[in-house]
Structure 1
Amino acid sequence: MSRKLSWSDVTPRGLWLSRRKLIAGAGAGLALPRLARAADLQPNSFEEITNYNNFYEFGWGKEDPASNAGAMTIDPWSVEIAGLVERPGQYDLADLIRGQPLDEHIYRFRCVEAWSMVIPWQGFALSGLLSRIGVQPSAKYVAFQTLYRPEEMPGQRQGGIDWPYVEGLRLDEAMHPLTLLATGLYGEPMPKQNGAPVRLVVPWKYGFKSIKSIVKISLTAEQPRTTWQELQPSEYGFYANVNPEVDHPRWSQASERRIGGGLFAGREPTLPFNGYADQVASLYSGMDLRVNY
């Protein structure tokens, strides 16, 4: 039977007692190292990033999350760690983040609806957390679950999706250094409409894979169910890698519209793996990415 755990179970007491101070500094956007910025990655504005969102728990319109997410309670917050791990349990958010390097990661973000942004996330590699909880050898996948709280999330009171929202990655994808658990953006705590207080960011995949407001992480031997794959399997595959050669059944993925580019800005060619092919293409060596879309 799992019990409520904290990192005091697996780390020296002195380090564990300092976690609240660390979280307070991170939450205020203090002392967050800035990574080198690639010349072609000019971030979108804070206003664009926080006012043009898909977060269907708060409504289907792009502006609905900013309008409706204020009612979501994010303190206290805990994440259940379950499945094929050495240290399962319910971890509060401070313990989840404690000791992790909250760096800035400026990533391209590509939506399956063929629009894109560049976002300066603050977060840490998911691999660090998975290593600390102890992944068992039989684990092959990582499953994630979003908060389910219909009284605060009006979209969950509507039909169309089997709530709560769930997603998953193959274990090697989850362990890749580009895969983040993000807790902020632009040096500020994560806005609620963007997935506060902690969300996944997988930059070479379409945005729906980067699940928001995570309350459960499970290690599994079998491929987990995912919300959009169950809802529309012909349109949304498990892998969801950005691939300009595989169109959505209802529109092309060969080009994209950059949010903030202006009314008359032209569309841009979509980059394989959203521009991260050099780092991640080897994960899919030998796979037919038209079948495993």
Structure 2
Amino acid sequence: MKTPRWSDVTPEALYLNRRQIMAGAAALSLAPQLARAEALTPNTYEEITGYNNYYEFGTGKEDPAANASMLTTSPWTVKVDGMVDKPGDYDLGELLTGLTVEERIYRFRCVEAWSMVIPWQGVTLASLLNKIGVQSGAKYVAFETLVRPEEMPGQKMGILEWPYREGLRLDEAMHPLTLLATGIYGKPMPNQNGAPIRLVVPWKYGFKGVKAIVRISLTDQMPQTTWNMMAANEYGFYANVNPTVDHPRWSQASERLIGAGLLAGRQDTLMFNGYGDEVASLYAGMDLAVNY
């Protein structure tokens, strides 16, 4: 099977300016990683926006697209607190002012063993953390999503404990691959994908990507995270993509690529979702079967 070329990328991705991507990559020492992105054929906009897990809008894959249009995303306030130099309640536009918006084509791997390739746009989390000022002693970044059951009908169902919570170790948060995404395919983030701002950590399972973020907190304690609180034996804090560590109820050794067709078969899962060259050093010496 031949390696896809830039010209093979799906039509929506033609807006991407290859020269700008590579220039941004060089600035972040990510040129090799983003060069490899040329070999990724992104899913269509319709696939990305029509097949989601977003329990705030229901448990079915089509529920977010069906129910998320009622969500009001402007104005939007993000609380920044904890061990930061500039705490406060920020209008999202103010919070992002002065930060460089970048285009990133990333693999996306769900813990349910399906995958996509998504062209995101957004700002690096590191640039935002540098703007608000991380205080000495901070070790983790915690996130919370919106609670608005009148617009998010899944929150009335008692599926999870709201707000949805997630977190990263500070070095993971500061890694140049970690993105606060504000759009897909050059368009504003659709509601069903986490508008107006969500977390994207491409080497971790998708449930780490908290959507509709309304709070960012710096702390010296590992934060509680929603799925880990619900089922700690199934969903660890780290949630790194690892084909050698199965979910208790299914194998993680392979995955189903959305949009590949019924006859495509499954593909092998890549360690760290294919980003091991960039991120494996973050976990040197750790037992990844224990720290799953």
Please, what TM-score do these two structures have when normalized by structure 2?
0.89
* 1:92-111 to 2 correspondences below 5 Å: 92-111=91-110
Matched, 1:48 2:62: no
Deviation at 1:96, TM superposition (A): 1.4
Per-residue CA shift, 1:15-45, capped at 9, x if unaligned? xxxxxxxxxxxxxx99994455534311000
Counterpart of 2:121 in structure 1: which amino acid? Q
Counterpart of 2:254 in structure 1: which amino acid? S
CA distance in 2 between counterparts of 1:85 and 1:101 reads 21
Q: Hey, what does 1:74 align to over in structure 2? A: 73
Q: Hey, what does 1:178 align to over in structure 2? A: 177
Q: Hey, what does 1:266 align to over in structure 2? A: 265
Corresponding residue SS for 2:117: strand
* 1:10-49 to 2 correspondences below 5 Å: 33-35=20-22, 38-49=37-48
Deviation at 1:282, TM superposition (A): 0.1
Counterpart of 1:200 in structure 2: which amino acid? L
Corresponding residue SS for 2:39: coil
Matched, 1:201 2:200: yes
CA distance in 2 between counterparts of 1:289 and 1:161 reads 26
CA distance in 1 between counterparts of 2:281 and 2:175 reads 11
- The verdict on how the C-alpha distance between 1:266 and 1:31 changes in structure 2, with shifts beyond 3 A counting, is closer
CA distance in 2 between counterparts of 1:34 and 1:77 reads 28
State whether residues 43 and 117 of structure 2, in contact with CA within 8 Å, keep that contact through their aligned partners in structure 1. yes
Counterpart of 1:127 in structure 2: which amino acid? A
Counterpart of 1:136 in structure 2: which amino acid? Q
Root-mean-square deviation (Å): 1.5
State whether residues 55 and 159 of structure 2, in contact with CA within 8 Å, keep that contact through their aligned partners in structure 1. no
Q: Hey, what does 1:188 align to over in structure 2? A: 187
Counterpart of 1:140 in structure 2: which amino acid? K
Q: Hey, what does 1:83 align to over in structure 2? A: 82
CA distance in 1 between counterparts of 2:159 and 2:104 reads 34
Q: How much identity, in percent, do the aligned residues show?
A: 68
User: Structure 1 stretches of 5 or more lacking a match?
Assistant: 1-28
Matched, 1:248 2:247: yes
CA distance in 2 between counterparts of 1:95 and 1:115 reads 36
Deviation at 1:263, TM superposition (A): 1.2
Q: Hey, what does 2:289 align to over in structure 1? A: 290
Q: Hey, what does 1:134 align to over in structure 2? A: 133
State whether residues 155 and 162 of structure 2, in contact with CA within 8 Å, keep that contact through their aligned partners in structure 1. yes
CA distance in 2 between counterparts of 1:250 and 1:99 reads 45
Structure 1 range deviating more: 99-108 or 36-45: 36-45
Q: Hey, what does 2:143 align to over in structure 1? A: 144
Q: Hey, what does 2:25 align to over in structure 1? A: none
* 1:106-125 to 2 correspondences below 5 Å: 106-125=105-124
CA distance in 1 between counterparts of 2:149 and 2:263 reads 39
CA distance in 2 between counterparts of 1:116 and 1:30 reads 22
Deviation at 1:99, TM superposition (A): 1.4
Counterpart of 1:109 in structure 2: which amino acid? F
- The verdict on how the C-alpha distance between 1:44 and 1:31 changes in structure 2, with shifts beyond 3 A counting, is closer
Corresponding residue SS for 2:123: strand
Corresponding residue SS for 1:205: coil
Please, what TM-score do these two structures have when normalized by structure 1?
0.88
Q: Hey, what does 1:60 align to over in structure 2? A: 59
Per-residue CA shift, 1:189-222, capped at 9, x if unaligned? 0000000000000000000001100000000010
Matched, 1:167 2:166: yes
Q: Hey, what does 1:230 align to over in structure 2? A: 229
| Moved segments of 4+, more than 6 Å | 29-32
Deviation at 1:169, TM superposition (A): 0.3
User: Structure 2 stretches of 5 or more lacking a match?
Assistant: 1-14, 23-33
CA distance in 1 between counterparts of 2:162 and 2:73 reads 19
CA distance in 2 between counterparts of 1:290 and 1:284 reads 12
CA distance in 2 between counterparts of 1:199 and 1:176 reads 16
Structure 1 range deviating more: 96-105 or 35-44: 35-44
